Amino acid sequence: MSKKKIKEICNNCRLYNREKCNCRLAIFHEGKEMHIPVDPQDECFFQEHELAEEIKQIRFWCENPETGEPSKEGIVKVEIPTDLTDL
């Protein structure tokens, strides 16, 4: 039984913003947030240019202080990779 492989293009990626036709992955350059414009059939810019190892993710979310469950109001939590805190 062969496993069908999904074609690795922007339109199949959850980071593809169909409304703005760009990648949701943010690039910060000189203090400005930028997003690469892409077409649905484009292959991943970050994989193609071997930048994937340099990508770091900072996560923000809000939790209910009583239950610890995600919510729209409550305590804002931040998760920062340890190697980014040394900058």
How far apart are alpha carbons 66 and 76 in whole angstroms?
13
Position 63 scores a pLDDT of 94
Position 19 scores a pLDDT of 95
Distance, C-alpha 8 to centroid of its chain: 16
Domain boundaries, the chain: 1-54, 56-87
In the block, tokens 């169909």 appear at 18
pLDDT, mean of each 10-residue run, the chain (87 residues): 76 92 85 90 77 66 91 88 65
Structure-block tokens of residue 53 = 């190892």
Residues 34-58 pLDDT 10s: 999 999 999 888 776 655 556 667 7
Position 49 scores a pLDDT of 61
The overall pTM is greater than 0.85: no
**Strand, coil or helix: 80:** coil
